[in-house]
C-alpha cells in the first residue's frame, strides 16, 4: 500500500516533458589494490538526482557480473536497500554511500555492476556503472636473512647470520607449514608460494639461544614485498635474568600451607624493569594456591618489578595444598618470570609429594615395529617385567606384561613415577613421567612406547 501511494505521488509530480523529471545518476570509485580472494573491498558510491523533480522509490544494487564473486550486504544501501520500499531523493540532492564487499574464490578480475533505479528516471544511461577490481596473480617468494644482533645496532652486521635454523612458512593455500633451513650465512628462501591474504613466518631450532623477533603477518599479493627480509634475533632474557624456586618441605598433606621462595637475580649490566611472575601456567590443578598479590610489585597484575644491574631479590609467598593434591600425590608451583616483551624467559618449578592415597594403574608398553608412530595390535611387549621407579632410583612396584603388553600395578602410592622395563628396552624419548592418581583423577589406561636400549 505504501509503495503504491509513493508511485502515485511521483507520477502526479512528473511534468509531461520527456526531458523533465527525476534523473538519478550514479558514480562509483573503487578502492585501489591488488586484490586477493577473501579481501574486503570498498566502493564509494554517489547517487545524485540531477533532474528537476523528486525521485521516488529509488534503490541501489551491486553485484559481480563476471569474474571473482563480490559479496555485499544490501543493508549497506540504507534507505536505498532493495529490501525496502525505496528512497525519496529530492532534485539536486546527492547521497554518498560506502559499500564494502568480500571477494570470493578466485575467478579472474571481478567486474562489479552498480545500479540505481528510480521511478520514471528520464535518462537511464547514467544509472549503471561498472568497476573492475583487479585480482592479483602469480606466485610469491619469501626470502631473507636471520641474524643474531650481537652488536645491538639493530641491523645485520658481518658474522651475525644464524645458520641451521628452521624457517617455517604457513599461509592461505598451504596445507601444512613449509620448512627451509638457513644456510651458512643465515639466509633462507621460499619460492613458488601461492598468493595469500595472510601468511606467517616463524623460526625454530634457532642456534645459540637467540630469540627471533616476530615478522608479523605478511600479505602475499605478488608484489614481492618479502624477498629481502632481515629478521632480527636478540639474546634471551635468561642470559641476564635468573630464577630459582624452592618449597619449604618435600612432602605435605592436603590442607597444609606450603611456603615458596623465589630468588631472582640480574647478572647483566643494565637494569631490568616491568618484571612479573606468571605462576601455574601449566594449570595442573594440584599446585599451591598462591595469590598474586603476595608477589608485590612482581605480581602478574602489577608488573612493576625491577632489578638493578647485579641485584638479587628474594620473594616469598605461601599457599594451601589443595584437596586434589592428595589424589595425585603431588603439589608444587611453577613460575616463569617475564618483562612483557623479551623472549627466552626464565622458568623454575618445584614439586613436593602429598602421600597417603593408593591406586591401581594399568597400561600397555609397546614397540613400534612397523614405524608408523602408532601402537598396533601385534606391537605389545609381552612377558616383560616392568617397574615403577620413584625419583629415578627407588623401585616402588613391579608387574609382568601379558601377551599383548598390558601390565597392572596394584595398590601403588599415588604420585609420579618413571616406568622401566627389565632387559634391553628403554622409554622412547618423547615419554615423561607416569602419573598414578586415585579416582576421580585417575587418568585411565596409559601406554608407553619403548625402544631398543
Ligand atoms: Ca538517470
Ligand atoms: Ca648488528
Ligand atoms: Ca606401529
Separation of 368 CA from ligand 3 center, angstroms? Answer: 4
Give residues whose Cβ lies within 5 Å of ion ligand 1: 23-24, 121, 123, 126-127
Separation of 176 CA from ligand 1 center, angstroms? Answer: 53
Separation of 23 CA from ligand 1 center, angstroms? Answer: 4
Q: Kindly report the number of other CB atoms within 10 A of residue 110's CB atom.
A: 24
384 grid coordinates? 616383560
377 grid coordinates? 595390535
Separation of 45 CA from ligand 1 center, angstroms? Answer: 15
Cβ-count burial 375-395 (b if 16+ within 10 Å, e if not):
beeebbbeebebbbbbeeeee
Burial tier of 104 (Cβ tally within 10 Å: 0-12, 13-18, 19+): middle
Find out whether 242 and 312 touch, Cβ atoms under 8 Å.
Answer: no
Separation of 370 CA from ligand 3 center, angstroms? Answer: 5
Residue-level pLDDT at 220: 96
- Smallest Cα–Cα separation from 346: which of 448, 272, 295? 272
Ligand nearest to the CA of 49: 1
The C-alpha atoms of residue 23 and residue 32 are separated, in whole angstroms, by 29
Separation of 220 CA from ligand 2 center, angstroms? Answer: 28
Separation of 61 CA from ligand 1 center, angstroms? Answer: 15
DSSP code of residue 135: B
CATH of domain 139-235: 2.60.40.10
Separation of 29 CA from ligand 1 center, angstroms? Answer: 18
Separation of 47 CA from ligand 1 center, angstroms? Answer: 10
Separation of 211 CA from ligand 2 center, angstroms? Answer: 14
Separation of 94 CA from ligand 1 center, angstroms? Answer: 13
CATH of domain 2-133: 2.60.40.10
Common-topology check for domains 139-235 and 238-353: yes
62 grid coordinates? 551491486
Residue-level pLDDT at 56: 95
Residue-level pLDDT at 176: 83
Residue-level pLDDT at 101: 97
Cα-based distances in Å from 230 to 149, 224, 334, 342, 381 = 11, 14, 35, 19, 51
Residue-level pLDDT at 15: 46
Separation of 217 CA from ligand 2 center, angstroms? Answer: 24
The C-alpha atoms of residue 158 and residue 89 are separated, in whole angstroms, by 68
Separation of 127 CA from ligand 1 center, angstroms? Answer: 5
Separation of 128 CA from ligand 1 center, angstroms? Answer: 9
- Smallest Cα–Cα separation from 441: which of 251, 254, 247, 256? 254
Separation of 154 CA from ligand 2 center, angstroms? Answer: 5
Q: Where are the domains of the chain?
A: 2-133, 139-235, 238-353, 358-452
Separation of 158 CA from ligand 2 center, angstroms? Answer: 8
CATH of domain 358-452: 2.60.40.10
Burial tier of 116 (Cβ tally within 10 Å: 0-12, 13-18, 19+): buried
Per-residue model confidence as pLDDT tens for the chain (453 residues): 333 334 444 444 444 445 799 999 999 999 999 999 999 999 999 999 999 999 999 999 999 999 999 999 999 999 999 888 899 999 999 999 999 999 999 999 999 999 999 999 999 999 999 999 999 999 999 999 999 999 999 999 999 999 999 999 999 877 788 999 999 999 999 999 999 999 999 999 999 999 999 999 999 999 999 999 999 999 999 999 999 999 999 999 999 999 999 999 999 999 999 999 999 755 578 999 999 999 999 999 999 999 999 999 999 999 999 999 999 999 999 999 999 988 899 999 999 999 999 999 999 999 999 999 899 999 999 999 999 999 888 999 999 999 999 999 999 999 999 999 988 899 998 888 999 999 998 768 999 999 988
Ligand nearest to the CA of 373: 3
CATH architecture of 238-353: Sandwich (2.60)
Separation of 53 CA from ligand 1 center, angstroms? Answer: 12
Separation of 367 CA from ligand 3 center, angstroms? Answer: 7
pTM to 2 decimal places: 0.69
Amino acid at each position: 500500500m505504501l509503495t503504491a501511494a509513493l508511485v502515485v505521488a511521483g507520477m502526479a509530480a512528473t511534468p509531461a516533458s520527456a526531458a523533465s523529471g527525476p534523473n538519478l545518476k550514479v558514480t562509483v570509485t573503487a578502492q585501489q589494490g591488488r586484490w586477493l580472494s577473501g579481501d574486503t573491498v570498498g566502493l564509494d558510491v554517489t547517487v545524485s538526482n540531477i533532474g528537476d523533480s523528486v525521485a521516488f522509490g529509488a534503490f541501489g544494487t551491486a553485484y559481480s557480473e563476471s569474474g571473482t564473486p563480490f559479496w555485499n550486504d544490501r543493508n549497506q544501501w540504507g534507505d536505498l536497500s532493495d529490501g525496502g520500499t525505496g528512497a525519496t531523493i529530492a532534485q539536486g540532492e546527492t547521497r554518498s554511500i560506502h559499500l564494502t564487499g568480500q571477494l570470493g574464490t578466485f575467478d579472474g578480475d571481478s567486474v562489479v555492476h552498480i545500479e540505481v533505479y528510480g521511478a520514471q528516471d528520464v535518462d537511464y544511461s547514467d544509472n549503471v556503472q561498472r568497476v573492475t577490481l583487479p585480482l592479483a596473480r602469480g606466485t610469491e617468494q619469501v626470502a631473507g636473512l636471520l641474524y643474531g644482533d650481537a652488536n645491538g645496532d639493530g641491523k645485520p652486521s658481518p658474522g651475525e647470520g644464524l645458520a641451521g635454523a628452521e624457517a617455517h612458512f604457513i599461509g592461505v593455500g598451504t596445507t601444512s607449514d613449509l620448512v627451509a633451513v638457513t644456510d651458512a650465512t643465515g639466509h633462507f628462501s621460499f619460492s613458488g608460494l601461492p598468493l595469500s591474504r595472510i601468511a606467517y613466518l616463524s623460526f625454530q631450532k634457532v642456534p645459540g639461544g637467540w630469540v627471533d623477533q616476530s615478522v608479523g603477518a605478511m600479505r602475499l599479493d605478488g608484489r614481492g614485498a618479502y624477498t629481502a627480509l632481515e629478521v632480527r634475533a636478540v639474546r634471551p632474557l635468561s642470559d641476564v635474568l635468573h630464577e630459582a624456586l624452592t618449597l619449604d618441605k618435600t612432602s605435605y598433606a592436603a590442607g597444609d600451607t606450603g611456603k615458596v621462595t623465589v630468588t631472582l637475580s640480574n647478572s647483566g649490566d643494565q637494569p631490568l624493569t616491568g618484571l612479573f611472575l606468571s605462576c601455574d601456567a601449566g594449570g595442573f590443578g594440584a599446585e599451591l594456591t598462591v595469590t598474586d598479590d603476595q608477589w608485590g610489585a612482581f605480581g602478574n597484575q602489577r608488573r612493576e618489578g625491577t632489578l638493578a644491574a647485579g641485584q638479587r631479590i628474594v620473594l616469598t609467598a605461601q599457599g594451601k595444598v589443595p584437596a586434589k593434591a592428595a589424589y595425585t600425590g603431588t603439589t608444587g608451583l611453577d613460575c616463569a618470570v617475564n618483562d612483557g616483551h623479551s623472549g627466552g624467559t626464565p622458568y623454575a618449578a618445584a614439586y613436593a609429594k602429598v602421600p597417603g592415597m593408593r591406586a591401581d594403574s594399568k597400561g600397555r608398553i609397546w614397540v613400534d615395529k612397523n614405524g608408523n608412530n602408532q601402537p598396533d595390535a601385534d606391537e605389545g611387549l609381552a612377558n616383560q617385567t616392568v617397574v615403577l621407579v620413584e625419583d629415578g632410583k627407588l623401585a616402588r612396584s613391579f608387574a609382568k606384561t601379558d601377551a599383548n603388553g598390558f601390565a597392572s600395578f596394584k595398590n601403588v602410592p599415588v604420585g609420579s613415577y618413571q616406568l622401566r622395563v627389565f632387559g634391553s628396552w628403554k622409554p622412547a624419548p618423547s615419554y615423561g613421567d607416569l602419573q598414578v592418581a586415585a579416582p576421580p583423577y585417575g587418568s585411565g589406561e596409559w601406554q608407553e612406547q619403548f625402544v631398543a636400549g
